[in-house]
Amino acid sequence: MRARLLRDYRSQYANPIAFAAGERVHVGAADSEWPAFAWMRTGDGNEGWGPLAYVAAGDAGHAHALRDYTARELDADAGDEVELVEEHGGWWWARHADGATGWLPASHLQLDATHRRDGGAINLADKLAGIDGTFSPRVVAEMNDVQFKLVKVRGDFTWHRHDHTDEAFLVLHGTLRIAYRDRDAVVLNAGEMTIVPRGVEHCPSAQDECHVLLVEPRGVINTGDAGGALTAPNDIWI
Ligand code: NI
């Protein structure tokens, strides 16, 4: 699968950890930002983030590696094309046109949409792990002209309406409140959904971070008629 860099990425670690299958690895605390990863120390004394799924737990904080791994990240510029090999916890192992390989955060990549109809599983938790910030919808799938977008909500969004379409909200995590001018607000917990009718002014908000799957036609702008600072770039895939 191919992807294009949305913005520059530069590797964060000068000396990335690496281990081979069978090697002993010390496993420390999990990463709060990237829960699929933990702080690890390899036999050579080097330390860094490693995927928990790549090791099997042993005793006293030690584990043995189930497969080869390197934490090497890839340097790439906005607009560069890369070949994606494998996804893990919001990161892609990628190969640059110049032959270099390394990890890239999914949040920096626009995937080729045609590959989203290959019948494969789309893991929403992995996608969410790759989304930086709130009120920045990311497309995870498309069916006919309808897009499925993930968005993190915290605080108040802006009052707006969509004159040409209804808008579906399915809450995956947390609690979402949608206020209306002309009727009671609706409060949705994880596993609940609603349809905001077209043309009806609404204002989503969440006290604590909330994760939502939006379903709406391709091309819908998040702030509708209102515009303003919270208007997000459209049609960005993750
Ligand atoms: Ni809306």
14's CB contacts (< 8 A; 6+ apart) are none
Q: Span 123-129, mean pLDDT?
A: 90
Distance 109 CA to ligand 1 centre (A): 25
Distance 136 CA to ligand 1 centre (A): 13
At 46-105, the pLDDT tens digits run: 999 999 999 998 776 789 999 999 999 999 999 899 999 888 888 999 999 889 999 999
Distance 155 CA to ligand 1 centre (A): 15
What global pTM score does this model have? Answer: 0.59
Is 168 domain-assigned? yes
Q: HSE of 46 in the Cβ direction (CA atoms, 13 Å)?
A: 14
Domain count within the chain? 3
Distance 214 CA to ligand 1 centre (A): 9
Domain extent, residue 51, equals 18-70
At 133-145, the pLDDT tens digits run: 899 899 999 888 8
Q: Is the pLDDT of residue 36 over 90?
A: no
Is the same domain home to 85 and 62? no
Backbone φ and ψ of 54, nearest 5°? -95, 0
Cβ atoms of 86 and 51 within 8 Å: the answer is: no
Is the same domain home to 191 and 205? yes
Is the same domain home to 76 and 59? no
Q: Span 25-42, mean pLDDT?
A: 89
Q: Which value, to the nearest 10 degrees, does the dihedral of the CA atoms of residues 143, 108, 101, 63 take?
A: -90
Measured from the Cβ of residue 172, the count of other Cβ atoms closer than 10 Å reads: 16
pLDDT of residue 10: 96
Q: HSE of 38 in the Cβ direction (CA atoms, 13 Å)?
A: 18
Tokens representing residue 151 in the block: 């968005």
pLDDT of residue 116: 63
Is 177 domain-assigned? yes
At 2-29, the pLDDT tens digits run: 888 989 999 999 999 999 999 999 999 8
Cα–Cα distance, 129 to 59 (Å, whole number): 29
Distance 6 CA to ligand 1 centre (A): 24
Is the same domain home to 31 and 78? no
